[in-house]
Structure 1
Amino acid sequence: MLRRLAVQLSSSHQRRLFNASFPQFLAPRLSPSFSSTSTSSSSSSSSSSSQSPQKHSHEPSSDSELVKHLKGIVKFRGGPITVAEYMEEVLTNPKAGFYINRDVFGAEGDFITSPEVSQMFGEMVGVWAMCLWEQMGRPSRVNLVELGPGRGTLMADLLCGVSKFKNFTESLHIHLVECSPTLQKLQRSNLKCVDEGSSGGDGDTRTISKLVGTPVSWHVALEEVPSGVPTIIVAHEFYDALPVHQFQRATRGWFEKMIDVAENSSFQFVLSPKSTPATLFLMKRCKWASPEELNKLEQIEVCPKAMELTEAIATRLSGDGGGALIIDYGLDGVVSDSLQAIRKHKFVHILDNPGTADLSAYVDFASIRHSAEEASENVSVHGPITQSQFLGSLGINFRVEALLQNCTDEQAESLRTGYWRLVGDGEAPFWEGPDEQAPLGMGTRYLVMAIVNKGQGIPIPFQ
């Protein structure tokens, strides 16, 4: 029956499946309002690069601790740092990183993601996970891994949505890959986690989500998640935060874009005067692209960590079985100049007050595909397709109809707005509020890709 949840069936049959599959006590969640998302097709992040490093100074100032730290790295090196190093420090510095000590999600944060928009997003991802579990032969033990789970909203909605499928939920062990202590606490709360003694009687405790009675563990990296068990991996808006290296075409070829300290003690872009270690990844990325694609570009972004993460995922799925679902905004080809900074739902310059704005870049889905295929012959890669196609094929239309039958007028308005944000394109045509608050559809700006063990066939809905 689970496979049929995610295929195109007759309207009446699919409605019956969704009415039966999801608990009706899940009241529609009101989606937060916001003026813009992190997926604008335009970026205000770039500034022109000079051809040679400028002099830099290190005079005392009222800089933040993170700015002092970044300038200290430049001083210690005696020269500029890469954009990737800057991005990694800004986002995940243990003391002052953007993600480390704050809740950055939602209307009060800096950006809003799909799980925060509507419960239906997590429910549809749950349908996909159940269908894959069936294709895997209904294993009795499965690692369900989420990379960068934010507040835990997606996982909470996923678990609530599949709560009636006991064989599935009883097979799961949830593994959340999260480096932020603040977000770990939020995830623990939203998943309604409690600690209890282990069944082995050795005095150890384990954490259980009261939503479905499933064990939950936290890790700072995918490598810490135990192997040897079939694995389902969800990476929603995770790849876009991985640090990118930027290269610019010059008269003598490609040179890496760097960040230095100018004479006035502010940060500025410069070009490296010679090849850098990341050039090896640039060469690898160019090997996967056609000459026609490369000739029209003046800048290129490459993400070594995305390549390495994908290789690790493919290797794990090749040996243990399972699949990975990657949902993010990006391109199915070489990415040119997409790095952007968002503070309180507005774009700012990426060098402006580092640590106070989110940094993200378009995901290079073609690079993910090539990385997975080169890592293992035992995996297959499917997509990308648009988020609208993905959610529509899984039955979100019928889920929203079911929810609208049993909700208040306020909830109905929230459902319609949330539905548009998830599957629509551009501004919602039905919006009657202030123009600056018009909901923007993510349906075509977000792409979805799956990597699965070949032994399990083609995953839904990529057939």
Structure 2
Amino acid sequence: PSLNSSGTFVEHVAGNPNESLSTSNPTISIDRSGLCNPPEHSHEPTSDSELVKHLKSIIKFRGGPISVAEYMEEVLTNPKAGFYINRDVFGAEGDFVTSPEVSQMFGEMVGVWAMCLWEQMGRPSKVNLVELGPGRGTLMVDLLRGASKFKNFTESLHIHLVECSPTLKELQHRNLKCLDADDTSSSGEKKTVSQIAGTPVAWHAAFEQVPSGVPTIIIAHEFYDALPIHQFQRASRGWCEKMVDIEEDSAFRFVLSPAPTPATVFLAKRCKWAVKEEVDKLNQIEICPQAMELTESISKRISSDGGGALIIDYGLNGIVSDSLQAIRKHKFVPILDEPGTADLSAYVDFEAIRHSAGEASDNVSVYGPITQSQFLGSLGINFRVETLIQNCETDEQAELLQAGYWRLVGEGEAPFWEGPEDKVPIGMGTRYLAMVIVNKNQGIPIPFQ
């Protein structure tokens, strides 16, 4: 058989290929000697999910393994079956809890930081407030609600949410109490306004799509940790990239690349920024080219338009070795287990962010990282929690506020907890770090002064 132009298989008639067939003679002779019987299992039903089938087809089509980064990107953001695409993964009923879901105080403190930066920028009348990966929109809701009394600030804002999930976009639209106005903008898009502070809101699939030309304040909270990483392992022949392949029993497995891969260029770049002794003692290294490239884009935007970026995430101020993890329903699971049903994330390399920002522009300054506890404490979260507790109507409300406060700024298990042991608040005040990139002309930002 051979493939014709329509994409279907046809069988060739035996005999002289130059002879034409008579339409009146229905009897033809077919040579099937070159055909082979397909394996018996090839048409059996399979329990693989659509995403697993898709991943296996990529590997088989390539004729070899794919990088951990490509695996991670497909698992998280595949348009049909990606982990983030068609579900709400946040909160107690989801797979993990983020700081904005812990307490309203987190978004309020980020709002304080944004207003302080706006003051340092000279109170511009127009500002793009950009959030990368807004989740449910909780952080932005608390930011706007907390800042709603400062009309000069909120009236200057145009919110831009960078989101790839249609499901989360709908949640953000609802939680921000958005209304789609009848009039359209000059670009032909409908104008959407959040009723919380009367602020226009727009959505984009990527940061590069956010309009430029006005000062920009960027918030990236737990965004960098979900960007695809490449993993390298030291072998007898040098650094080899860790790849995802298929075993004989059709399960996924890790293998090492037999030759250098394109990502080796970024590995060399990352090692150049590090102390040689630090690299020599490592057997594994993780790099995130997308984080480097995103940081470069952010720095160039801040350099040309003014403004700043706040990055809060869990990570290290140095080379990351082996941090990739999968979380399903608040529990760690094997990374290659049931792709698409668990969140994949890795530690953020803050040192790489700092170097990427500096190489992208001489007109930006980078501050930090400092711990989340230091960041929120310097912005006044202690005073905020005291005020909120004084206004509580019940002891239960006060306990929830105190527990939320500890989770944001504390370290380890809360010493004051008297409730069930399985619900003791675990502080993430030192596990999360905060870094700021600002235009040099604006001076030293709060809370780094």
Shift of 1:296: 1.1
1:268 paired with 2:243, answer: no
- What's the offset of the Cα at 1:199? 8.1
Q: Does 1:172 align with 2:163?
A: no
| Structure 1: tracts of 5 or more residues without a match | 1-56
What residue number does 1:334 align with? 319
The match for 1:41 is none
Amino acid at match of 1:207: T
User: Could you say what secondary structure the match of 2:357 adopts?
Assistant: helix
C-alpha separation between the residues in 2 aligned to 1:438 and 1:200? 49
The one-letter code of the counterpart of 1:106 is G
User: 1:199/1:238 Cα in 2 relative to 1: closer, same or farther (>3 Å)?
Assistant: closer
2:374 pairs with one of 389, 396, 401 = 389
Alignment of 1:439-454 (within 5 A): 439-454=425-440
User: Which residue of structure 2 aligns with residue 250 of structure 1?
Assistant: 235
Residue in 1 aligned with 2:178?
193
Unaligned 5+ runs, structure 2: 1-40
Are the equivalent residues in 2 in contact too, given 1:421–1:441 (CA < 8 A)?
yes
From the superposition, tell whether residues 354 and 195 of structure 1 become closer, same or farther in structure 2 (CA, over 3 Å).
same
Q: In the alignment, is the contact (CA less than 8 A) between 2:185 and 2:191 conserved in 1?
A: no
The Cα shift of 1:204 comes to 6.1
Instruction: Tell me the number of residue pairs that the alignment of Structure 1 and Structure 2 aligns.
Output: 407
Change (3 A) 1:59 1:313: farther
Q: CA deviation at 1:441?
A: 0.4
Amino acid at match of 1:361: A
CA distance in 2, matches of 1:446, 1:458: 22
TM-score (structure 2 length as normaliser): 0.89
Deviations, residues 266-314 of structure 1 (Å, cap 9, x unaligned): 0000000000000000000000000111011000000000000000000
The residue matched to 2:164 in structure 1 has which SS? coil
Q: Does 1:279 align with 2:264?
A: yes
Counterpart Cα distance in 2 of 1:78 and 1:439: 48
Identity %: 79
In the alignment, the residues of structure 2 paired with residue 392 and residue 214 of structure 1 have an alpha-carbon distance, to the nearest angstrom, of: 28
From the CA coordinates, give the structure whose radius of gyration is larger.
Answer: 2
Instruction: Name the SS for the 1:123 alignment partner.
Output: helix
Taking structure 1 as reference, are residues 204 and 183 closer, same or farther at Cα in structure 2, changes over 3 Å only?
closer
**Contact conserved, 2:109 with 2:376, CA < 8 A, in 1?**
yes
TM-score (norm 1): 0.86
- Residue 409 of structure 1: aligned partner: 395
* Correspondence list, 1:122-201, <5 A: 122-198=107-183
Where does 1:344-383 land on structure 2 (aligned, <5 Å)?
344-383=329-368
Q: Which amino acid aligns with 2:101?
A: E
Q: Kindly provide the amino acid, as one letter, of the partner of residue 329 in structure 1.
A: Y
1:218 Cα offset (Å) = 0.2
On the 8 A contact 2:328/2:343 being kept in 1, the answer is yes
Quote the offset at 1:433 in angstroms.
2.5
Report what 2:422 is aligned to: 436
**Alpha-carbon distance in structure 2 between the residues aligned to 1:232 and 1:340:** 30
Task: Give the one of 83, 91, 94 matched to 1:98.
Answer: 83
Helix, strand or coil: the match of 2:387?
helix
Q: 1:59 to 1:234 in 2, by over 3 A?
A: farther
Pick the aligned partner of 1:289 from 256, 266, 274. Answer: 274
1:202 is displaced (CA, Å) by: 11
Distance 1:421 1:210 in 2: 30
Q: Give CA deviations for 1:38-65 in whole Å, capped at 9, x if unaligned.
A: xxxxxxxxxxxxxxxxxxx989531000
